[in-house]
Amino acid sequence: MRGLVLKTFVVGLLSTNCYLLAYPGEGEAVIVDPGTSSEEELEAVLREAERLGVDIRFIVNTHGHPDHVAGNYVLKELTGAEVLIHEADAHMLTSPPWPWPGLKPVRPDGLLREGDRVSIGPVALEVLHTPGHTPGSMCLVCEAGDLVLTGDTLFAGSIGRTDLPESSHEDMMNSLVKLMRLPDHMRAYPGHGPSTTIGVERARNPFVKMAIGGR
């Protein structure tokens, strides 16, 4: 969609992709996965929002792991944005699954479910629940921008770990099949690493092939 802006910031101890999705025409933006671990990283995101002339309305976490939520508290304090996460991972924001430098618990302002939409201006991010990495892992589908933010469900050539507490390999396989229902041309922006497309991952990703082959 014309006027839609997507900016990527690589932040934190595990080089997490933090995304600023903005619609300057309406002066609104959403931050996805602010895993920031320093003032400099946070300031870079806020400067870009100011340059675009947008207010950050929502902070959305694709899942509850600390490397994706570490900046929630400070960003909410500075912007007044609502913190949103899938209901199955909400407990991770108030009781982090493991210690993380500078991480402060945050009570989410809203809980998301399959099919819910987070809107900025005329642009909507639709929740696609994709458990596996965590019970509440989700992807955010933006049809207007022909893109999907895949969190730690799908990476270029790989997937998120399923050997962590609360992870499930079986759920991940089912989620990959579900994700592959999106059109091949749709651009996928993961929680770590470079962007890709659904079509490329369908053709080349060994984990996707395993998931599809098992059906």
What is the pLDDT, as a whole number, of residue 114?
98
Span 37-55, average pLDDT: 96
Return the sign of the alpha-carbon dihedral for residues 155, 161, 165, 167. Answer: positive
How many domains does the chain fold into? 1
**Is the confidence at residue 19, as pLDDT, over 80?**
yes
Which of 30, 34, 31, 29 is CA-nearest to residue 10? 34
The CATH number of the domain holding residue 9 is 3.60.15.10
Dist CA 124 CA 34 (whole Å)? 19
CA angle (208, 184, 115) in 5-degree steps: 80
Confidence of residue 1 (pLDDT cuts 50, 70, 90): low
What is the pLDDT, as a whole number, of residue 185?
98
Dist CA 18 CA 35 (whole Å)? 7
Terminal Cα-to-Cα distance of the chain (whole angstroms): 35
What is the pLDDT, as a whole number, of residue 60?
98
pTM (two decimals)? 0.97
**Is the confidence at residue 152, as pLDDT, over 80?**
yes
User: Hey, what are 49's tokens?
Assistant: 């929002």
What is the pLDDT, as a whole number, of residue 215?
63
Using H for helix, E for strand and C for coil, what is the string for 33-86? Answer: CCCCCCHHHHHHHHHHHHHHCCEEEEEEECCCCHHHHCCHHHHHHHHCCEEEEE
Domain ranges, residue 58: 5-213
User: Hey, what are 100's tokens?
Assistant: 């993380």
What is the pLDDT, as a whole number, of residue 206?
97
Residue 9 to residues 74, 152, 186, Cα–Cα distance (Å): 17, 16, 21
Dist CA 155 CA 149 (whole Å)? 10
Which of 74, 68, 8 is CA-nearest to residue 33? 68
> Do 85 and 108 touch, CB atoms closer than 8 A?
yes
63-114: per-residue pLDDT in tens? 999 999 999 999 999 999 999 999 999 999 999 999 999 899 999 999 999 9
What is the pLDDT, as a whole number, of residue 41?
97
Q: What's the mean per-residue pLDDT of the chain? A: 96
176-209: per-residue pLDDT in tens? 999 999 999 999 999 999 999 999 999 999 999 9
Q: What percent of the chain has pLDDT over 70?
A: 98
Dist CA 32 CA 125 (whole Å)? 11
What is the pLDDT, as a whole number, of residue 177?
98
Span 123-134, average pLDDT: 98
**Is the confidence at residue 13, as pLDDT, over 70?**
yes
Span 13-34, average pLDDT: 97
